[in-house]
Structure 1
């Protein structure tokens, strides 16, 4: 099964490669990058390599697709976007994205997610995509709203992160809206 590569004016989205391990480690070991990503930082390059291998396996098993986001002008890894839980009877999936803080505020997340949204609706034939966002993450809330998502609910004290319970906003977008 061939991995679905995509591109825009400034970005290429492709499968994570073993050669991305250092960049992937740098991204996921950066506390400011993972602060709202719903996970802890990683501790080693070997953990990054294991995760990249797991991404490939999850793709082959149709559990998720996670693209490496490459800034074409510099041929540099700047982040990752993905969609998971898309093989279900309900025709929906959940988006995720994480970018290196040095590439925030340039519109790269929006550009990459637009490609993933089109892929989700046109290729995966989903009817709905959603994102789970910490509502205090104003940049992410704004990003998804600019992409057409609406905030459908706030799940109070839904996740336990960094020693405390946090709220999570569910943002949704359907194919026909």
Structure 2
């Protein structure tokens, strides 16, 4: 691993740039990928995606909440990661990660999450991270468990997509668990 805090073994994190719009726009056509990460939104125009990327470039941080691009060391954009619901008083935060389909199963998501965990636990003094996962997203469930997260709860019938309701799982990892996994 290089000495840059925003780098892992396979990827680095950086702000989303206005010039990234095209990759994000192409990703918008992956309806199944959108369903796994969030929801399927109405179609967005190229100008709408350009505007979104431009706004992310100038407003990517709000307190400790952030959205960052994930890129390989060859500068190929492969997805994004965000933190949200950051609560410095209680030391908790949530994260979400999305990898473009052609880059799935290459270890990029787990590497990006480890970078975020390292920064929030070791630099910002957070003590717990949570991830919310849809019950039908088996790859994300496997990712959380691979990273050492524990399923702490189930919110029944929270997500409606593809004609039916699904549960949402709550996964958590404390700083002490993170420290134990590092050794």
- Do Structure 1 and Structure 2 share a fold, with TM-score over 0.5? yes
Partner of 2:169: 169
Per the TM alignment, residue 11 of structure 1 is displaced from its structure 2 partner at its CA by: 1.3
Match of 1:69 in 2: 70
Q: Which residue of 2 aligns with 1:48?
A: 49
Relative to structure 1, is the Cα distance of residues 174 and 8 closer, same or farther in structure 2, using a 3 angstrom cutoff? same
2:7 is aligned with 1:7 = yes
Unaligned runs of 5+ in 2: 178-183
Matches for 1:46-125 after TM superposition, within 5 Å: 46-56=47-57, 59-62=60-63, 64-73=65-74, 75-125=75-125
Distance 1:16 1:30, change over 3 A: same
CA distance in 2, matches of 1:31, 1:6: 30
Given that 1:93 and 1:126 are in contact with CA atoms closer than 8 Å, whether structure 2 keeps it comes out as: yes
SS in 1 for 2:122: helix
TM-score, structure 1 normalization: 0.87
Root mean square deviation of aligned Cα: 2.1
Kindly indicate whether residue 146 of structure 2 is the aligned counterpart of residue 146 of structure 1.
yes
* Equivalent residue, structure 2, for 1:137: 137
8 Å contact from structure 1 (residues 131, 172) kept in 2 = yes
Aligned residues: 173
Report deviation, 1:63.
Answer: 5.9
> Aligned-pair distance for 1:163?
4.2
Deviates more, 1:64-73 or 1:53-62: 53-62
CA distance in 1, matches of 2:147, 2:78: 20
**Cα distance between partner residues in 2 of 1:150 and 1:115:** 19
**CA distance change for structure 1 residues 63 and 39 in 2, over 3 Å: closer, same or farther?**
farther
Q: CA deviation at 1:70?
A: 0.9
In structure 1, stretches of 5+ residues that fail to align are none
Worse overlay, 91-100 or 59-68: 59-68
Of the structure 1 ranges 8-17 and 34-43, higher mean CA displacement relative to structure 2 is found in 34-43
